[in-house]
Chain A
Amino acid sequence: MRRAQAFAVAILSLLAASDVTSATEKQGGILRVYHRDSPASASIHEEATYSTNVPFMPVFNNLVIYKQDVAQNSLQSIVPDLAESWAWSGDNKTLSFKLRQGVKWHDGKPFTSNDVKCTFDMLMGKSAQKFRKNPRKSWYDQVVDVTTNGDFEVAFNLKRPQPALLALLASGYTPVYPCHVSPGDMRTKPVGTGPFKFVEFKANESIKLIRNPDYWKKALPHLDGIEFTIIPNRSTAILAFVAGKFDMTFPTEVSIPLLKDVKTQAPNAVCVVEPINVSTNIIVNSSAPPFDSLDIRRAMALALDRKAFVSILFEGQADIGGTMLPAPAGLWAMPKEMLETIPGYGPDINANREEARKLMQKAGYGPNKHLQVKVSTRNIPIYRDPAIILIDQLKSIYIDADLEVVETANWFSKVARKDYTLGLNLTGNAVDDPDQSFYENYSCNSERNYTNYCNAEIEKLFDQQSAETDVSKRKKLVWDIDKKLQEDVARPIIFHGRQGSCWQPYVKGITIMVNSSYNGYRYEDVWMDK
């Protein structure tokens, strides 16, 4: 088993190596990209938004990474990065890595296994130095410790088998940080081993990266540098792209109507629309009336006309599914036939709503006695717009809902206080893997489980699927869990959005990932045909 995998890795790394040396690529040029907002800091480990990943992923390397020119992230598309190879132990409880030698940090210090240990100790909260914020600590819940063997070998020792750990390590969210730079410095002037060096980050203005001439992958990167200009105003940003002031839009940030506009004004621009693995969902306060009643929760689920959401907000270009990203982009989605058996997913909306009204009448509501509720959401269009549609749809089942918009600064504390009835929420999934989305959003102790949904029976199933090494068996388990979560109306998923990205025709080597918007921004293979 171990040998077979090591062999597979060797082949993959060979493939990866052969890919970088094709002759047509031109060197040089600064890639100019606009950025949608000013990220809170430059430290990827401390942030949970791709506003940080996009500009700073090029500064770093991971142990392993999703192959950057394969659009669909999967265990098969993982290739070595700072690790030369990896291997699972026979009991599947130890994942060990052989590290690349001769790699240098941007400040000239050598990279060793100690840096890897430092990074993950800090993520697990075990080191003296602490991150200010540590949003993905729970990713490493199954890791007992990280041990080194000499300067170029590390091993992750697990409590139980967790094949998905490798997927988490391959995410753009999991760069290796240097031991010798403090977390504070990593927030303001990050040091990595990656293809580009950090030059400057002016809040609300720009982020500049320059080519790392000593990059350990010879002849890479192709670009001389990358310049992100921060333009929070969408209209201005798109106009500037159309006017040729930028080589690329901020990835997966162009809405469908804007995309049409770009295509008419700049017909040569290359544009793609891909799923971003961000689900729009309803957080339901099931600890207080009226939604403590499963009947009323079910009625709400039955009232949803998901197609209407998709046609209004995405002109049809979004996907309907459960917690896991729908196929074909998503790897773990349940089959369509199974999905349609879940209340509210059936194709006959009128029949669903008829059933919903019956449930509402059973709970004491009717045409003469409407239920008054508030739908809370953040004061941002991508949150507000679906809330408007939700409110309209709830009218059909005797629910009169008012919209309550909440400032960003107050949103999470409000949610944490349970000071809401229904909330409209967006959940981004960095890795298309059930371990990431189930534990984070539905596990009893997770900080991001906003609804505090806690079901001991399902919790056991979470662990069972997580430890399962047979992929097809795991899939079946995942489907069942996902179906149960939807039937419990734990956090009904409305749709999975898609977004557009555009670049000028001379920009080559960009791949927009189809099942994550957090992992595809290393940009070492990007070049410009000018």
Chain B
Amino acid sequence: MDAINYDIELKRAGANSTHGWRKLTFLAQRHMLGAVGLVIMLIFVLTAVSADFISRFDPLSVDSTHRLAAPDARHWMGTDSFGRDVWSRIIHGARISLAVGIGSTALGSSIGVIIGLASGYLSGWVDLVFQRLIDILQALPLLVLALVMTAALGPSLPNVIIAIAIPLIPIVARVIRANTLALRELPFVEAAKSIGMSEMRIALRHVLPNTLAPLIVLATAQLGSAILTEASLSFLGLGIPEPYPSWGRMLSESAAEYVRVAPWLVIFPGVAISLAVFGTNLFGDALRDILDPRQRG
């Protein structure tokens, strides 16, 4: 049993070719929203990667003579109250958001998967120990942890990533465990057992791939929600500190003061956050549809 066989799935769905561009075109047509999400995500990633080349100004450079300038040919998204170029800050902010999103999701999901799989498949005392760990992690609300962490370690990028990753562990672990519990009883696992496959092999070859779908749904949703959490932390004054241009802080700190006087200070970071999160969510949904292993006939 292969974990995920795109080719069979594609042929079944009527794709003429399972290779190259035609395959991509087919997928894009079938999952319009997902394709849109992917494009948004790609733009987001590209922006983050090439921020140094496409920014027109130093995002930290203060200019008292051009403060609160409206968007024009020179400053595409205007300037903030310090005269800093908003366009440059938004694209450098993409880098920060990406680091937070991917960093915390990867960290949280990988730990969560290990715990969830071990807990659900091995059951017994392993399950009990991991469940206690999860209960403990889950009983510490995200922001409590984040507050204590930022206070303990000082507000910084890695600390915010860790603070956002930890609450993800129990979410992932519980869903993976619940799925594993259900899967364990399914015929194909029983069959594998009866032909003498080792427990480890069954867990990795059959159970893990079959829990990928919910994992991907969760991970992509978390990618977006990590960006949102950073924004909330910024609102509470605990996010990524100056001088990094964080979208969350840009939005939360200008929201009250400049919403009428200089709306571009509120609109652009707001759109950037929502669009990035929206894109990852759209893409995650489509990925889920494509990768769902139970679609096989």
- CB pair A388 B258 closer than 8 Å: no
- CB pair B243 A388 closer than 8 Å: yes
Check if A475 is an interface residue, CB within 8 A of chain B: no
Check if A472 is an interface residue, CB within 8 A of chain B: no
* A 407-423 binary contact with B (CB < 8 Å = 1; else 0): 10100000000000000
CB distance from A395 to the nearest CB of B (A): 8
- A contact set with B: CB distance below 8 Å: 234-235, 238-239, 255, 257-258, 260-261, 264-265, 305, 307-308, 311-313, 379-381, 384-385, 387-389, 391-393, 402-403, 405-407, 409
Given the known interface contacts A312-B83, A403-B243, the answer about A388 and B62 at a Cβ–Cβ threshold of 8 Å is: yes
- CB pair A381 B260 closer than 8 Å: no
Given the known interface contacts A257-B81, A379-B241, A407-B154, the answer about A392 and B256 at a Cβ–Cβ threshold of 8 Å is: no
- CB pair A384 B242 closer than 8 Å: yes
Check if B127 is an interface residue, CB within 8 A of chain A: no
CB distance from A495 to the nearest CB of B (A): 13
- CB pair B237 A379 closer than 8 Å: yes
B61 cross-chain contacts in A, Cβ below 8 A: 392
B83 cross-chain contacts in A, Cβ below 8 A: 312
- CB pair A403 B242 closer than 8 Å: yes
- CB pair B155 A261 closer than 8 Å: no
B81 cross-chain contacts in A, Cβ below 8 A: 257, 312-313
Within 8 A of A (CB), among B110-157: 150-151, 154-155
A385 cross-chain contacts in B, Cβ below 8 A: 82
CB distance from B236 to the nearest CB of A (A): 10
Given the known interface contacts A264-B260, A405-B155, the answer about A381 and B67 at a Cβ–Cβ threshold of 8 Å is: no
Can you report 16 A-B residue pairs in the complex whose CB atoms are below 8 A from each other?
A234-B256, A235-B255, A235-B256, A238-B256, A260-B261, A264-B260, A311-B67, A380-B237, A381-B253, A388-B242, A388-B243, A402-B243, A403-B241, A405-B154, A405-B155, A405-B242
Give Cα A392–Cα B57 distance, bound, in whole angstroms. 14
- CB pair B155 A407 closer than 8 Å: yes
Closest to A259 in B: B257
CB distance from B153 to the nearest CB of A (A): 10
Check if B60 is an interface residue, CB within 8 A of chain A: yes
Known A257-B258, A380-B237, A388-B243; further 14 A-B contacts with Cβ < 8 A: A235-B256, A257-B257, A261-B257, A261-B259, A307-B64, A311-B67, A312-B64, A381-B253, A392-B61, A393-B62, A403-B241, A403-B243, A405-B242, A409-B151
Within 8 A of A (CB), among B46-75: 60-62, 64, 67
- CB pair A389 B155 closer than 8 Å: no
**Which 3 A-B pairs rank lowest in CB-CB distance, beginning with the nearest?**
A235-B256, A392-B62, A308-B64
How many residues of B are counted as interface, with CB atoms below 8 angstroms from the partner's CB atoms?
24
A402 cross-chain contacts in B, Cβ below 8 A: 243
Closest to B80 in A: A312
- CB pair B67 A312 closer than 8 Å: yes
CB distance from B251 to the nearest CB of A (A): 11
Given the known interface contacts A312-B64, A403-B243, the answer about A255 and B151 at a Cβ–Cβ threshold of 8 Å is: no
Closest to B60 in A: A392
Give Cα A329–Cα B241 distance, bound, in whole angstroms. 36
Closest to B235 in A: A233
Main secondary structure of the interface of A (DSSP, over half): helix
Within 8 A of A (CB), among B219-262: 237, 241-243, 253, 255-261
- CB pair B64 A311 closer than 8 Å: yes
- CB pair A407 B64 closer than 8 Å: no
A388 cross-chain contacts in B, Cβ below 8 A: 60, 62, 82, 242-243
Give Cα A80–Cα B5 distance, bound, in whole angstroms. 90
A403 cross-chain contacts in B, Cβ below 8 A: 241-243
A391 cross-chain contacts in B, Cβ below 8 A: 60, 243
The contact of B82 among A261, A307, A389, by CB within 8 Å, is A389
- CB pair A389 B62 closer than 8 Å: yes
The contact of B260 among A261, A312, A387, A406, by CB within 8 Å, is A261
CB distance from B92 to the nearest CB of A (A): 15
- CB pair B256 A407 closer than 8 Å: no
Give Cα A402–Cα B241 distance, bound, in whole angstroms. 12
Give Cα A255–Cα B81 distance, bound, in whole angstroms. 13
B241 cross-chain contacts in A, Cβ below 8 A: 379, 403, 405
CB distance from A239 to the nearest CB of B (A): 8
Which of B62, B83, B253, B260 has the most C-beta atoms of chain A within 10 angstroms of its own C-beta?
B62
CB distance from A37 to the nearest CB of B (A): 12
The contact of A261 among B237, B243, B261, by CB within 8 Å, is B261
A313 cross-chain contacts in B, Cβ below 8 A: 81
Give Cα A361–Cα B82 distance, bound, in whole angstroms. 29
B255 cross-chain contacts in A, Cβ below 8 A: 235
CB distance from B277 to the nearest CB of A (A): 22
Give Cα A21–Cα B60 distance, bound, in whole angstroms. 57
B257 cross-chain contacts in A, Cβ below 8 A: 234, 255, 257-258, 261
Give Cα A127–Cα B242 distance, bound, in whole angstroms. 46
CB distance from A152 to the nearest CB of B (A): 51
Give Cα A311–Cα B81 distance, bound, in whole angstroms. 10
- CB pair B261 A312 closer than 8 Å: no
Give Cα A305–Cα B62 distance, bound, in whole angstroms. 12
CB distance from A171 to the nearest CB of B (A): 31
CB distance from A232 to the nearest CB of B (A): 10
Closest to A384 in B: B242
Given the known interface contacts A234-B256, A258-B256, the answer about A407 and B62 at a Cβ–Cβ threshold of 8 Å is: no
Give Cα A393–Cα B60 distance, bound, in whole angstroms. 11
- CB pair B261 A257 closer than 8 Å: yes
Give Cα A234–Cα B62 distance, bound, in whole angstroms. 25
CB distance from B81 to the nearest CB of A (A): 6
Give Cα A379–Cα B261 distance, bound, in whole angstroms. 25
Give Cα A384–Cα B239 distance, bound, in whole angstroms. 14
Give Cα A239–Cα B258 distance, bound, in whole angstroms. 13
Give Cα A92–Cα B108 distance, bound, in whole angstroms. 72
CB distance from B249 to the nearest CB of A (A): 10
Closest to B243 in A: A403
CB distance from A95 to the nearest CB of B (A): 45
- CB pair A312 B155 closer than 8 Å: no
Give Cα A384–Cα B240 distance, bound, in whole angstroms. 13
Give Cα A392–Cα B150 distance, bound, in whole angstroms. 26
Give Cα A311–Cα B255 distance, bound, in whole angstroms. 21
CB distance from B278 to the nearest CB of A (A): 24
CB distance from A380 to the nearest CB of B (A): 8
- CB pair B261 A407 closer than 8 Å: no
Closest to A390 in B: B62
Give Cα A265–Cα B261 distance, bound, in whole angstroms. 12
Give Cα A257–Cα B256 distance, bound, in whole angstroms. 9
CB distance from A347 to the nearest CB of B (A): 15
CB distance from A297 to the nearest CB of B (A): 22
B67 cross-chain contacts in A, Cβ below 8 A: 311-312
A405 cross-chain contacts in B, Cβ below 8 A: 154-155, 241-242
CB distance from A268 to the nearest CB of B (A): 17
- CB pair A406 B261 closer than 8 Å: no
